[in-house]
Amino acid sequence: MIQKRILLIKRGAMGDILMTTPLIRQLRQNYPNCQIDYCLAKPFESALFKNQNLNKIIALDDKVFTIKGILKFIKFLLSIRRKYDYVFILDKHWYFNLMLRIIGATTIGFCRDKFSKLLLSKNVKYNDVNRYQVLYYLDLLNASSYEDISLDLAISDGDKLNVANKLSELQIDKYVVIVNSGGNNQYETSGIRMLPEKKVLQLIKGLLDNGGKVILLGGEQDKGNYANYINALNNHKNLYNFAGVLSLPSSAWLIKNAEYFYTTDCGAMHLGVAMKVYAKMSAFFGPTNPRHIIPLQHMNCTVWNDELIYDPNYQLYGDVDSKHPGFFNNIDITKYINYK
């Protein structure tokens, strides 16, 4: 018999959804007979594909979560009113804390100010970007095990076969994966977390000059940038643009089986975390604090030379200074080319 009904709700993005999976897993472990549903924006539902700890995934149009979609959001919330006992609000903006009161359930979420606190039944203060973000999600569940922080992502045999067929088609055996994304998605267009083009071209060229095969991995929004890189490197025969080609689970499998994985702070980086490829991953950070993004025990895979100029408000509130300093300029990219 189902004892309680729990709804988790978070708009996105991909990496943030993946970082909530330890909370999902531990909710199921602590309350095995509960109904646990998850509501999120449709572009990110693949992050929870076949997650066995969920009863149902509710995927809404991304615009529903914006101010412009407020009427549709209210209509949805009214449709599930009184259908849940507890709502875990995994976004941090006070707007979600306010809106989700409509459901008429006990609301559990984050507060970054006094107003947010007043809107919640139970709250967790969110204020430290030196702390791994997964631990904040687990704070919402007092019975959490803070040792159990691995990310869940289901990968089917079909996903694995899809990767194998793609590599076979292009006659690729050993390969390196590079992702240069971050700060250029549904929520922002600054590209602030991307390596400068000069740096990424230097990295790609160095790997190609060493005889490596390089796969550029990312989403549809990365396709154009990657095409520019390929053009700048004269359409090198061992350079491949996989942006927008693979599903999320297939992308994770490609990363897991790569010789090495280079990434910036973006959704794909969390695929590397989920696949536990820390020993063969270099994650480049600029405006964000890696201690908030990567488990503390795996800081060796991170590259961050901008601690003195970064602003924690970017991670806490999403604020981007229009006159922000140039990030990544202090990274000597040549140090990371000879990864072997």
Statement to judge: residues 310 and 178 lie in one domain: yes
Statement to judge: residues 126 and 60 lie in one domain: yes
**pLDDT tens digits, 273-325:** 999 999 999 999 999 999 999 999 999 999 999 999 999 988 988 877 766 77
Q: DSSP E strands: which ranges in the chain?
A: 5-9, 35-41, 56-60, 86-89, 106-111, 122-125, 176-179, 214-216, 239-241, 260-264, 281-285, 302-304
Is the residue at 144 inside a domain? no
Please give the tally of structural domains in the chain: 2
pLDDT at 1: 47
Single residue among 110, 139, 168 that ends a domain in this structure: 139
Which pTM was predicted?
Answer: 0.92
Is the residue at 280 inside a domain? yes
Which residue range(s) make up the domain with 33? 5-139
> Is the distance from CB of 253 to CB of 155 less than 8 angstroms?
yes
Instruction: State the Cα–Cα distance between residues 321 and 261, nearest whole angstrom.
Output: 30
Statement to judge: residues 86 and 162 lie in one domain: no
Statement to judge: residues 115 and 86 lie in one domain: yes
Encoded tokens for 56:
């149902």
Q: The sheet that has 56-60: what strands, in order across it?
A: 56-60, 35-41, 5-9, 86-89, 106-111, 122-125
Single residue among 94, 113, 139 that ends a domain in this structure: 139
Measured between its terminal Cα atoms, the distance across the chain in Å is: 54
Statement to judge: residues 72 and 213 lie in one domain: no
Q: Determine how β-strand 35-41 pairs with β-strand 106-111.
A: unpaired
Statement to judge: residues 330 and 205 lie in one domain: yes
Instruction: State the Cα–Cα distance between residues 273 and 22, nearest whole angstrom.
Output: 13
Statement to judge: residues 209 and 281 lie in one domain: yes
Is the residue at 226 inside a domain? yes
Is the residue at 55 inside a domain? yes
Is the residue at 97 inside a domain? yes
Is the residue at 188 inside a domain? yes
pLDDT at 145: 84
> Does residue 90 sit in helix, strand or coil?
coil
160 exposure class (CB count in 10 Å sphere: 0-12, 13-18, 19+): middle
Statement to judge: residues 79 and 133 lie in one domain: yes
Q: DSSP E strands: which ranges in 246-314?
A: 260-264, 281-285, 302-304
Q: How far is CA 263 from CA 78, 182, 260, 319, in A?
A: 41, 10, 10, 23
Phi then psi dihedrals of residue 236, to 5 deg: -55, 135
205: which residues sit within 8 A by CB, 6+ positions away? 233
Statement to judge: residues 93 and 213 lie in one domain: no
Phi then psi dihedrals of residue 262, to 5 deg: -105, 135
Residue 269 DSSP one-character state: H
Statement to judge: residues 168 and 246 lie in one domain: yes
CA 137 to chain centre: 14
Statement to judge: residues 174 and 315 lie in one domain: yes
Is the residue at 147 inside a domain? no
Instruction: State the Cα–Cα distance between residues 80 and 59, nearest whole angstrom.
Output: 14
Is the residue at 28 inside a domain? yes
Statement to judge: residues 329 and 190 lie in one domain: yes
Single residue among 109, 139, 169 that ends a domain in this structure: 139
> Does residue 60 sit in helix, strand or coil?
strand
Instruction: State the Cα–Cα distance between residues 143 and 205, nearest whole angstrom.
Output: 49
Q: What is the mean pLDDT of each run of 10 residues along the chain (340 residues)?
A: 86 95 96 96 95 97 95 97 96 94 95 91 94 96 88 96 97 97 77 94 96 95 95 97 96 98 97 97 96 96 94 86 80 85
We report the CATH number of the domain holding residue 167 as: 3.40.50.2000
